[in-house]
Structure 1
């Protein structure tokens, strides 16, 4: 079976030679495919793989240009994460936090200068919830507590924890890894390689200048840091399901020419299979088009000097929810078409199915967020924190 026209067109996604060495990026993708079982078995993406991501620019993509970073246009970064996720969902999820510089840009400028003094390639991971109260001290806070879901924490240069809210948005305290205990308890059914362990901090002081409001105003005046940071954080996670859906459909294409164990006709000779594949390709292409069209529209408006509107922010959030759900549905369709062959734990479709379902469980991508988008469409106030 032929790979879809959309997939053929996007065969070089994320390897614009003005952004990254295409050969180096292809080599990274190959390595991710070879090592994805290792990531799952170890429950994290190892540091040497993180270094490979640094080499191709993942962790300078959201570093301000004034500090030597790329401050990459969101659609270009998202395409890179899509390709990595096609190779492995966990690796794509961990790489997606290369976008975290948009959060960190809410730190004071002098703190950012200190952070980026040695290199623009900075890996940040955070376990922000549940928010823990911190004792306010003169010029800082005394921090204690345990936080969950710190994806990529074992490969991070900086770790953040949530220490209360300001204006409905969480305040984040930033620590060096040696100040934080990683509680290795990431025992899950999907995205096993993300290493989303708990973080624990015992009686550590943090200066106020090493805290920021997630989604707060940026101290950097560059286009990327005017892009809605919470919406972007949802997008970089949602795009993982685009990669997984593409991988699932390509797997069915590879399987379609072979005979089943019962002697039934090849998948490609069955009308219902051809129909469902066509529907799945259309669903994926439509969701993908909406997702990137919304991203580029907002980015082009920012470049033109326009302020971001609530309607634009809502559209970005809606496109993220939609692409997450649509991608998972495409994976489910591919899994169903594969029949009993796909029930074995070592089969690629097992991995894609489990990983894609975990993506849709993230709070940024939950079904309930459609309510926020609907509210904006109807001109009524959405729930707090949506935009």
Structure 2
């Protein structure tokens, strides 16, 4: 476990009222910055931790086990570190070196970039920009005007905070404290040195993580996250079952029945956890041996990642039915975990696109 028992207890206390305030506390944000939880894969030369993908994924999982909002923000914040080598050298040093460096933004090409002298004029709106209330910078992807219609050009851009309007419209039923708001950019100039493409490396600020396939990196990150939230759900169900033991023993065999269900889903979780980490370790081992990952291997991992999400939902939904009214009360810890899990599993990197991906792991 990445975090101590004392830290786990403190973080859960800090996130107790997160849904009401719809953000994380200043103290928790400072903790995340001090622990470099947004800079897990940023190279050490830019004051990051420079971790491997398997090590970072374990932290995503451990953070999400503590609290879904906390884990989501650690995972999303870390993901921005994939761009260190894509930025110009000057921009990478300027924006990633500060201890508080963290990106909020979107890779969806929802904006328009118009070429002008020395840079671009940007307009657009982008949904679901997690961490928008504390980001030190924003990134967003645009279609470049006047590019070949048959081969349109897309670029991403780095924006200063004062260039971005944050629209507080995140209203999901879970992960309420992630401030995954819409951002709007209106007629803002961005110099050429702050334009980048995730398909082009411009400097030496990189580790083996940075040339790992981006899609597989993202799938590993989100699969690790839902594994963590799933584990928290199972822990909470077991805790409730033990708390209700005396009452449920007086209801025939309800306690025994419930414990059998809990143990069944714990075994399902453990199997999924082992499969995920073994598959990721194999890909990472091959990648670090400078062997190219085949499309078949990447597709197989994509399917595994989506099955992980399906499996976590299966675990949670099988047990949810047996808890009773406590499960449906929004103020209950169990309900909050359940909503966070379902929200995280809806991310596009985990959403099934074929029948095979809708199956849970056997």
Task: Name the TM-score class by shorter chain.
Answer: 0.7 to 0.9
* Match of residue 339 from structure 2: 354
Q: Deviations over 1:116-138 (max 9, x none)?
A: 3444x521111344612221223
Q: How does 1:36-75 map to 2 (within 5 A)?
A: 36-75=15-54
Match of 2:255 in 1: 268
Aligned to 2:295: 310
Q: Higher mean Cα deviation, 191-200 or 127-136?
A: 127-136
Number of residue equivalences:
349
Aligned residue for 1:363, secondary structure, equals coil
- The aligned counterpart of 1:159 is 138
The offset of 1:72, in angstroms, is 0.6
Kindly report which structure 2 residues correspond to 1:238-317, keeping only aligned pairs within 5 A, or say none.
Answer: 238-257=223-242, 258=244, 259-260=246-247, 264-265=251-252, 267-270=254-257, 273-317=258-302
Q: CA RMSD in A?
A: 2.7
Residue 150 of structure 1 is matched in structure 2 by 129
Shift of 1:195: 0.8
TM-score normalised by structure 1 residue count: 0.82
Answering whether residue 323 of structure 2 is matched by residue 343 of structure 1, we say: no
Please give the alpha-carbon distance, in whole angstroms, between the structure 1 residues aligned to 2:327 and 2:174: 15
2:196 to 209, 212, 219: 212
TM-score where L is the length of structure 2: 0.87
Residues 166-220 of structure 1 deviation map (CA, whole Å, 9 limit, x = unaligned): 9789532111212211111112211111110110112111123212224555744
Within-5 A mapping of 1:34-113? 34-97=13-76, 98-113=78-93
Unaligned runs of 5+ in 1: 1-11, 16-21, 374-387
How far residue 327 of structure 1 moved from its aligned partner, in angstroms, is 1.3
Report what 2:166 is aligned to: 182
Note the alpha carbon deviations across 1:17-53, whole angstroms, 9 max, x for none.
xxxxx54xx4443222112232211222244322211
Residues 9-24 of structure 1: pairs in structure 2 closer than 5 A = 12=1, 15=2, 23=4
Equivalents in 2 of 1:170, 1:125: separation in Å? Answer: 19
Contact 1:46 1:155 in 2 (8 A): no
Q: Is the 8 A contact 1:148 1:198 kept in 2?
A: yes
Deviation at 1:67, TM superposition (A): 2.3
The answer to whether the 8 A contact 2:307-2:357 is kept is no
1:118-129 map, 5 Å: 118-119=98-99, 121-129=100-108
